[in-house]
Amino acid sequence: MKRFFSTFKIAVISLLFAAMQFGLSQNSIGQINGSKGVPKYTNYIIGDNTPAGQQVWNVGQDNEGFIYTGTSTGLQKFDGVNWELLPSPVQDFLTNVRSTYLASDGTYYYGSISDFGVVETDSTGATKEVSIAHLIPEEIAFNDIWTIVEAQGEIYFQAREAIFIYSPNEPDPNKKIKIWKPDTAFMYGWEFEDNYLAHQAEMGLFRNNNGTLEFIEGSEIFNNDRVQVLLPYKNAGEFLVGAFAGGLYLYDGQSFLPFITEIDYLLQERSLYRGLALPNNTYALSVLGHGFFILDQEGKALNQFTTKNSIPDQSVYAFHLDNTQNLWVGTNAGLCKIELFSPLTQFNSDEYEVGNILSLNAYGDDLYMGGSTSILYIDSEDGEIKKVQNLPNTQVFAMAEDGNQLVSTGPGLYEIRGNSARLIPETQPFQTVTLQISKQHPGYIFTGGTFGLHVFKREQKANGDYQYESIGPITDVGRSIYSIQEDADGEIWAGTQAGYLYRVQIPKTASGNLKIEDAVTTTFSDETSVEGVSGVVTAIDGKIYTSGVEGYFFFDKESDSFKRDEVFSFSDKKADLNLDTYGIGLGTMGNVFLSFGGENRLAIPQEDGSYVIREYPLNLITANITGGTYTEKDGTFWFATDEGLLRVDATKEYKTDHPLPLYFNRVESSEGNLVLPKYFGDQVPSLVYKGNNILFNYIAPFFIKENQIQYRTFLDGLDEEWSDWDSRTSREFSNLPYGSYIFRVKARNAFNLESEEIAYSFEILPPWYATWWAFVLYFILFGLIVYGLVKFQTGRILAREKEKNREKELAQAREIEKAYEGLKATQAQLIQSEKMASLGELTAGIAHEIQNPLNFVKNFSELNQELIEELREEIEKGNLDQVKELVANIQENEVKIVQHCKRADSIVKGMLQHSRSSSGEKHATNLNVLAEEYLKLSYHGLRAKDKSFSADFKAALDPDLPKVQVVRQDIGRVLLNLINNAFYAVNEKAKSGIEGYKPEVNVSTKKTERGIEISVKDNGNGIPESIKEKIFQPFFTTKPTGSGTGLGLSLSYDIVKAHGGELKVESQPGSTVFTITIHS
């Protein structure tokens, strides 16, 4: 299979590039007559469901590049592939659209019968006409809108009955349209130098002067006819104007002067219809019944376009120059596009077939074309294509210059002179395909064909003719030969269709004759020379070149091998042996033609021997080059292609890198048309899963060889790689999995210029069974199933093991219960220990408090003893008054003894209450008394333990504080713990030796809206932020080991919470406040 494709490929390339090798002698090169060539053109049948050949009144293009034609059936939109007939908003279809216009702000306007407006495209890509005729401020009947132009920011819609002036920036809708009414009838209107001009029948030309039409003096010469064209001329204020008949006139700013042209014989009749100023200072003028002409500014007719060479009808109604400078021509029977400014022209013949040229060469001023049945030539006298006589019907694959003649292949060799051919009799038995007239071996000609490689020798006779002699074949060349070249050393190289090359070294005799029987032949194939060798040889600067899948190679005699030419090998990619074509050929003027992997380049020799590689002008040739090229001295190229004979003026500037626009023009789903990307906003389209399908339509409205535009696509989320390039303008997807997608498109034109990528984001919604809530349901069901299975299995296991483990479980339960009881006992002991610890801290204070009443009891008892002695003495003395006084004193002292005993009793009872477990019963309690009592007890307790301890303490107690229902001993424990901590904090700070520091603890009470607050404040070091959140945790303490249990604040917090209150702490360096809030 590989060799089959290679053979086919080599056949094509051999014929192409072998044809380039001939005619390198430049002695006879003259100027070939290319006057009969016409630019490339395309004729169109407008519309999909409309009659072919309909009248085209207007052609225009919007700012996105789409072509619009105003026809007798309505306004047609053309994207390069599809036509779309836009319905009229007032008459639906079948209405004349005589005018369209692209305004400077990008708005595209139309004018039809009794209507005018704008062309708009909605968010789904649907294009429609939107009328603005309802803005006309008064009722006025009108028919066709003949012209639309813009001047000074206003749009002029011209009908015979009125001119409607539309101001798009006017905010008041009642003032958007102004009306000019004619004295007779407005025939046409134009924009000239940003001013508006109009022609009134039977009057002449008028121009806008501050909102009023002003008559142009001298234009009354157009009273009796209709002015059809008004075109800018050379200087400011000058224009050419022409009526339907009477020829052209030049207005120089003052008067109208006749403008003489080479087609006045036609313009004097009633035939001038439309004109267009072209960017190269020429004019296109249509003459009804005669096609149209290109005139220069001197009136010379440069070209004529008729049905014989391009347009579909002789009557032209419309011109438009598009954004790539194609000239669109609307005729009475269809539409034509002409690549007017392209340097490429084509040549055809009504008499001969020019579409299958196999070889090209020239002699003198005549260009010869070897075809599939004959040789044609362009006659230098008149530019017409004619046939060389005396040739049989034969394929002519090669023609070589030979002094005063050409030598061609065929059934033998033929000498071509002028319009006649002569068979060389000695060569008749050989069906030749290629030939090489040797320069290194004068008098020898090498021919190739199915017979292999055969050598002829010739001598020139006195009459100038040659006498040929067959020398014989090169016996070691056993394959069909399709290309022959000679290097600088006279070695002969021959190439085959099958990818083989032969190097033939022929020795000479002493007299200079070739000894072909002693020829040394070396065979090269893709295995021994170049991978994928093409089988075509080319001699460039005396060296032999060939091509392969990795580029172009020359034969290096030092290494006796082929080496890659890094200049000619312009591509780094590797060609596909079975699919791609590649070859190299030498042009007439030394240019090297390179074709590789579908891309063409031209290597132009420089004076220093180097080459410059260019795409231009070969990138203009989108047809397949089938029969080689020819280059004239002035740089003009001639190409034999499958589209016929093409001529390229390489000195003519031509832009081929126009931006290639690309759009989504419609995206369809089963739910209807979807919004296009520029209207997405923050959300992308979503499609339901069931039966989802989406069809993307995309187009590149580019009109240079639009039939060769190709596209490639990629669906991100589905495709693994981009699609191959093809001409499809849509792609459809069905039953896509749910998820998010991005559809991407690129376009490529005939010049291999790629567009920017466009993208369409969308998502397929999941089916109900793949939604999040369905998965939640699945999860729940799965959980229930698992739960049921687990429960069932667990039940079985438990049932089997229940009896066996019962005792064990009961034992474990008893152990757990025992441990629990132990934990409870331990907890009670810890709490009791904390209570006793606080009681222990009270002991010294209590002892101090008890000591005071005991001292009083002792003192008063001793005093009473003394008073009793005195009483006895006084009784003995019988001093009753004194006795009574002493008895009174004794009684008074006894009262005091009882009072102090009660004081001691209350202290002991309080101690007992603190030490015993709380009953949990709440009693109305005076918190002031409780706070003051524990403040003193705490202080004296600390003083008793540490005689060096000293601190000020104050009690700021609210006298109006009501009694509160609390468990007295519990709240007392809380107060004692907080006050002890406060005294501990100030004592620790005092020990640090801070100069001037005075320890102080303040206890305060107050009634608030929330209840009763008791605050304990100290001026110690404060509590660090890092431990503030931990101080209420059980067993957390900052005191040294053995100095605290860590339960004080935890128990205090729990006691206050149990009373429905709050215990909070606020601390900063140098101050800490604990606040108890008990809600009343």
pLDDT in tens, 863-920: 778 778 877 888 888 888 787 877 888 887 777 777 767 666 666 655 555 555 456 7
Distance (Å, rounded) from C-alpha 822 to C-alpha 813?
14
Name which of 133, 255, 129 is nearest 204 in CA terms. Answer: 255
Distance (Å, rounded) from C-alpha 144 to C-alpha 147?
9
Please state the rounded mean pLDDT for residues 921-933. Answer: 86
The percentage of the chain sitting over the pLDDT mark of 70, rounded to a whole number, equals 90
Q: Is the pLDDT of residue 282 over 70?
A: yes
**How far lies 878's CA from each of 671, 871, 873, 874, in Å?**
135, 10, 9, 6
Q: What is the per-residue pLDDT across 311-352, written as a single tens digit (0 to 9) for each?
A: 999 999 999 999 999 999 999 999 999 999 999 999 988 888
Looking at residue 1043, its pLDDT comes to 65
Name which of 528, 428, 544 is nearest 483 in CA terms. Answer: 544
- Number of residues in the chain: 1080
Residue with tokens 């700070």: 989
Between residues 32 and 1032, the one the model is more confident about: 32
Q: What is the per-residue pLDDT across 633-653, written as a single tens digit (0 to 9) for each?
A: 888 899 888 778 999 987 788
Name which of 707, 52, 100, 98 is nearest 334 in CA terms. Answer: 52
User: In the numeric block, which tokens belong to residue 334?
Assistant: 């269809």
Is the sign of the CA dihedral 225, 229, 232, 234 positive or negative?
negative
Q: Is the pLDDT of residue 93 over 70?
A: no
Q: Is the pTM of this model over 0.85?
A: no
Q: Using a CB cutoff of 8 Å and minimum separation of 24, what contacts does 22-25 make?
A: 22/359, 22/361, 22/398, 22/399, 22/400, 22/401, 22/628, 23/360, 23/361, 23/362, 23/363, 23/399, 23/400, 23/401, 23/406, 23/588, 23/630, 24/401, 24/586, 24/588, 25/401
Domains 663-770 and 824-1078 belong to one CATH topology: no
Looking at residue 874, its pLDDT comes to 80
Residue with tokens 């002969």: 492
Looking at residue 25, its pLDDT comes to 38
Burial of 25-64, coded b for 16+ CB within 10 Å and e otherwise, reads eeebbeebbbebbbbbbbbbebbeebeebbbbbbbbbbee
Interaxial angle between packed helices 968-991 and 880-915, expressed in degrees from 0 to 180 and rounded to the nearest 10:
90
CATH number of 824-1078: 3.30.565.10
Burial of 318 (0-12, 13-18, 19+ CB in 10 A): buried
Interaxial angle between packed helices 880-915 and 772-877, expressed in degrees from 0 to 180 and rounded to the nearest 10:
160
Query: In degrees to the nearest 10, what's the CA dihedral of 599, 605, 611, 613?
Result: -30
Asked if 459 contacts 474 with a C-beta cutoff of 8 angstroms, the reply is no
Looking at the DSSP assignment, which residues form a beta bridge with residue 367?
A: 362, 378
Q: How many CA atoms lie within 13 A of 502 on its CB side?
A: 26
Domain range annotation of the chain: 663-770, 824-1078
CATH superfamily, domain 663-770, is Immunoglobulins (2.60.40.10)
* Confidence band for 846, pLDDT divided at 50, 70 and 90: low
Q: What is the DSSP letter of 372?
A: S
Name which of 148, 61, 62 is nearest 99 in CA terms. Answer: 148
Q: What is the DSSP letter of 351?
A: S
**How far lies 927's CA from each of 276, 958, 964, 1000, 1076, in Å?**
111, 10, 7, 21, 11
Strand 1071-1078: give its sheet, edge to edge.
952-956, 1000-1007, 1012-1018, 1071-1078, 1062-1068
Strand ranges for 107-171 from DSSP E? 108-112, 115-121, 127-131, 145-151, 154-159, 163-166
User: In the numeric block, which tokens belong to residue 45?
Assistant: 């049948």
Looking at residue 830, its pLDDT comes to 56
Distance (Å, rounded) from C-alpha 663 to C-alpha 709?
14
Q: What is the per-residue pLDDT across 118-160, written as a single tens digit (0 to 9) for each?
A: 999 999 999 999 999 999 999 999 999 999 999 999 999 999 9
* Confidence band for 1017, pLDDT divided at 50, 70 and 90: very high
Q: Give the DSSP H/E element, type plus range, for residue 784.
A: helix 772-877
